[in-house]
Amino acid sequence: MISYLALSGGILTFCSILLTFYEYGERLDNIQRRLDHVVNANQKKFVADEELSKPLMERFVKPMLKALTERIPKNQALGADPLDRGGKTRFEKLKKQVYQAGLNISPYEYQAIRLVVMAGCMLLALAAAMLISRNVFKALMAALIALYASYVGSRFHLASKAGNRKKEMEKQLPEVLDLLSISVEAGLGFEQAILQVINHFEGPLIDELTITYREMSMGRTRKDALLLFSERCDLDEIKSFVGSIVQAGQLGISIKNVLRAQSAAMRQSRRNKVEEKAQKISVKILIPMVLFIFPVIFIILMGPALIKIIEQLG
């Protein structure tokens, strides 16, 4: 009997509390549900806006390249076998060329793009040859020629982009060394001088210096960071500059004097290259003169004589 009374009292107390705070709790639950709905809607809208704000390269092209590269087997030609030294060397060379060209893709993605371009050119040449000649042998020959031409063209395009990027770095190097020298002479350290250069210039050389500065900030030694910098750039002038800085650090020579000497040497080297190009103009200008100017001069000089000769013979 006492247990029933205790149970009844507990149920009565629970129901009283439930009836007393039901409306308050329901109101809080409604507010919380509305807040959750608003927050989730804003998050979904923000995610959608963020996805739509990305360029087409990141939203469409890169996912397709990733899916394509996952289906392409990374065979020995790509250096998957560590015992295949030749394949590994070719893969490292391709990786370096892609990086030096300034392409923000992996070597596998570049090879996927090259395969797509080669296949597209081959199919277009095959279809065009079939429509024009309707000869299977000629169409196959045209497809093979287009395949080889697209392969050579892709390699030439990669080498051309890497060469243009190196030319921009070489052109910007004297100004960078001048500012480095001035900053160090003003009392800044070498790392702080590099930071000043990064803040005042833009270009591929500044991108490489930014990577070098971050490596030194994260704990890599100056020597290792500069050696990696020269390896990435692969320019004789930068290798000479890095060698001088590393040697100055090992021998305890003042970096200020080394930077001043390097800046003057780079200026002189650039002046010599400009003079060399100017001296080659006299030879290069002979080609348009022979092709376009000399024929016109011959026509003007020999034209009346030829007319008289034809009249006399006639």
Please give the full DSSP string across 59-92, using - where no structure is assigned: IIIHHHHHHHHHHS---GGGT-STT-HHHHHHHH
- pTM for this model (two decimals): 0.64
**pLDDT for position 4:** 45
18-36: pLDDT as tens digits: 556 556 666 666 777 776 7
**pLDDT for position 69:** 58
3-state secondary structure of 228: helix
**pLDDT for position 45:** 46
Spell out, as residue ranges, where the chain has pLDDT lower than 70: 1-29, 35, 37-88, 314
**pLDDT for position 50:** 53
Phi-psi region of 219 (alpha: psi -120 to 50; beta: other; left: phi over 0): left
**pLDDT for position 233:** 87
**pLDDT for position 5:** 47
Residue 102 is classified by DSSP as: T
243-263: pLDDT as tens digits: 888 888 888 888 888 888 888
Please give the full DSSP string across 255-309, using - where no structure is assigned: HHHHHHHHHHHHHHHHHHHHHHHHHHHHHHTHHHIIIIIHHHHHHHHHHHHHHHH
Buried b (16+ CB within 10 A) or exposed e, 1-37: eeeeeeeeeeeeeeeeeeeeeeeeeeeeeeeeeeeee
**pLDDT for position 48:** 44
**pLDDT for position 108:** 81
**pLDDT for position 64:** 61
